[in-house]
Amino acid sequence: MAKDAVRVLVTGAAGQIGYALVPMIARGLMLGPDQPVILHMLDIEPAAEALNGVKMELIDAAFPLLRGVVATTDAIEACKDVNIAVMVGGFPRKEGMERKDMMKKNVSIYKAQASALEQHAAPNCKVLVVANPANTNALILKEFAPSIPEKNVTCLTRLDHNRALGQISEKLFVHVGDVKNAIIWGNHSSTQYPDVNHATVSTCNGEKPVRELIADDNWINTEFITTVQQRGAAIIKARKLSSALSAASSACDHIRDWVLGTPKGAWVSMGVYSDGSYGIQPGIIYSFPVTCEKGEWSIVQGLKIDEFSRGKMDATAKELMEEKALAYSCLN
């Protein structure tokens, strides 16, 4: 039996990440090789012509799984009956711009899009916020779409998670597919805490702890952490553009694992609404290690947290509380 098509919204679809993401979705990289999709693409009025060009290219690529394309600048039309929403559109911080000014712009964007999703998306729509400040944009969306279950609003820290796996694999000269269970704690910002204390590598002698194999605590606690934290800035410096290909690929990974489930014995990092786990205050969207099954994520419980990790986890939570206060001051 052919499956019913799933409607997937991508906002900011004419931008760099959107342009990398929509063909991945149309190829089945997000929802699987047998899942037909209808793409809903939203962008702002000045990008309308470029958005139409993306639609033309999607038609030209003749993707077998792509059952339809909606390209629009109208949020209501874009959100109609969508099952999955990937929120890539946002207001980027420009040179010389105060953080509060950027926050004000994004608060108004996410407040408006929350209401369009709440009123027009399919029931049980899953939302992934990619645009920065991702955790706080997701929190605003959750606050202004109260009928969307809080477990259905997440933000992207899978890019940071994948960056951590990549750095470990490069350091140890092992295949990245053999590395698992790194963790990104906290904010998708330079205060995030990439944690290898529970990560392992599959070797011919079974699974070995990453910390033991690297055998260099100084590298793990300094250079590794800062490399992952500042990887986005390093890519901007190299490309003169922000990460697009890797962000799009990670967004596919995030949704795929959420919908289809994480592999047995492995977890991934997702920005989710805190329930107080690991002493992180509720009321913020914070990146935790999670497993997914049957379309639901659960925070991995019972991991041992050392003193070094505790300090890093609390520092990034503090930044999120400050961001939340700033966002709320913009609302008022």
- 15 in a labelled binding site: yes
301 is in an annotated binding site: no
Decide if 167 contacts 199 (C-beta within 8 A): no
The phi and psi torsions of 266 (rounded to 5 degrees) equal -125, 150
Q: Is 93 annotated as a binding residue?
A: yes
> Any binding-site annotation on 132?
yes
67 is in an annotated binding site: no
**Residue 156, token pair as written in the block:** 């992207």
For residue 233, say whether it is annotated as part of any ligand binding site.
no
43 is in an annotated binding site: yes
**Residue 13, annotated ligand binder?**
yes
Q: What is the DSSP string of 83-98?
A: SEEEE----PPPTT--
Is 12 marked as binding a ligand? yes
Strand ranges for the chain from DSSP E: 6-11, 37-42, 66-72, 84-87, 126-129, 153-155, 179-180, 183-185, 193-195, 200-203, 206-209, 268-273, 285-293, 296-299
CA–CA separation, 295 vs 260, rounded Å?
7
Q: Which residue intervals of 121-241 are DSSP H helices?
A: 134-143, 158-172, 210-214, 217-219, 225-229, 231-239
Q: Is 14 annotated in some ligand binding site?
A: yes
CA distances from 46 to 49, 50, 85, 106, 276 (A): 8, 9, 22, 18, 42
Residue 302 assigned ligand-binding role: no
In this structure, the strands spanning 179-180 and 84-87 are unpaired
Q: How many CB atoms lie within 10 A of CB 67?
A: 15
Q: Which residues are catalytically annotated?
A: 188
User: Is there a binding annotation on residue 17?
Assistant: yes
What does DSSP assign to residue 223? Answer: I
Q: Is 162 annotated as a binding residue?
A: no
Q: What tokens appear for 233 in the block?
A: 């800035």
Does 96 carry a binding-site annotation? no
Has 137 been labeled as part of a binding site?
no
Axis crossing angle, helix 48-60 with helix 16-26, rounded to the nearest 10: 30
Neighbours of 57 (CB within 10 A): 12
Known binding site for substrate: residues?
A: 93, 99, 132, 163
Known binding site for NAD(+): residues?
A: 12-18, 43, 106, 130-132
Known binding site: residues?
A: 12-18, 43, 93, 99, 106, 130-132, 163
